[in-house]
Homo-oligomer: A and B are copies of this chain.
Amino acid sequence: MELLIRIKMNENLFLRDPESTELGRKIVRQSILLIQEMGFEDFTFKKLAVAIHTTEAGIYRYFENKHRLLVYLVTWYWNLLEYQVLFQINNLTDSELRIRKVIELLSREMEESLSGNDIDYKALYQIVIAESNKVYLTKDVEANNKAQLFKPYKDLCARIADLFTEFNPGYPFPRSLASTLLEMAHFQYFFMNHLPSLTDFGKEKDTTKLHEFLEVLVFSNIRNGK
C-alpha cells in the first residue's frame, strides 16, 4: 500500500502554495538539501535559484524570504510528526507504552517509506535539529505566533502533555515537560555529535543512550508523586 499524506499548511507561510506546482515542489525539495548542506545562514535564494535553474524572482513568488521558507519546512516536519504520533499511538492502550513510543519517534529519523513526494527526510531531520529554534528565536515571535505559524509545534506539545497527564494527572508541569522533551531530543542529539562533553553519550553516534536519557528524564518526573 502506498499512502500519500497531504498536510494542509498554514497559508501565511507562503505567497503561493509550493505543493501546487512543479517549481514549488522543487523549491522545497532542493532547499532542504541546500540548507542541510551549508547551514541556514549561508543559504541564499540566489544559490537555490541556480540549483534548480530558475531565478531569485521565481522563488520570491513562493516565499516571502528565507526565514519563512525555514518556518515552512520545520512546520511541515512538526505536522508530520504529530500525525505519526497519533497514528502510532492509536493502537496502544497502556499510557506508559504510548509515551515510550513518542520518545522513540522523536529521537530518530522518519521512515522514508511514507514519502511519495521525494523529500529527503534525513536531511529535513538534520535541519530540524540544527535550525528549528531559529524559527522562533527572533524579534517577531509574537507576530508570527499570532499568524499561527507555530501552531503545529504547539499542538504536538499539547498532545504529548496530554499523554503525561493521562499517565499521572497529578503531575503539575505537563506542558513544560513536553517542550523540554521536544527540545532536548534534538539538543542532546546535536550535542552528542558536536559538543559531546555536554552529554554522557560519548561520541558514539548511537542514539540508544540518548533515548534512555530521555526516558529517564520523562518518567522520573511524571512518576514522581504518583
Q: Which residues in B have their C-beta under 8 angstroms from that of A187?
A: 179-180, 183
How many copies of the shown chain assemble into the complex? 2
Contact call A39/B217, Cβ cutoff below 8 A: no
Contact call B213/A173, Cβ cutoff below 8 A: yes
Decide if A71 is an interface residue (CB 8 Å cutoff): no
CA distance A134 to B190 in the complex (A): 13
Contact call B42/A216, Cβ cutoff below 8 A: no
Interface residues of A in 183-226 (CB under 8 A from B): 183-184, 187-188, 190-191, 194-195, 197-201, 213, 216-217, 220-221, 223-224
Q: Which residues in B have their C-beta under 8 angstroms from that of A194?
A: 136, 141-142, 145
Contact call A176/B188, Cβ cutoff below 8 A: yes
Question: How many residues on chain A are close to B (CB under 8 Å)?
Answer: 49
Surface stretch bound by B, among A11-19, A86-94, A113-121, A150-158: A150-158
A187 to chain B, nearest CB (A): 6
Apart from A134-B134, A179-B198, A217-B217, what 8 extra A-B contacts exist at CB < 8 Å? A42-B139, A137-B190, A142-B194, A154-B198, A176-B200, A177-B217, A179-B191, A221-B221
Q: Which residues in B have their C-beta under 8 angstroms from that of A42?
A: 139
> Would A188 and B179 be within 8 Å (CB), given that A216-B173, A221-B220 are in contact?
yes
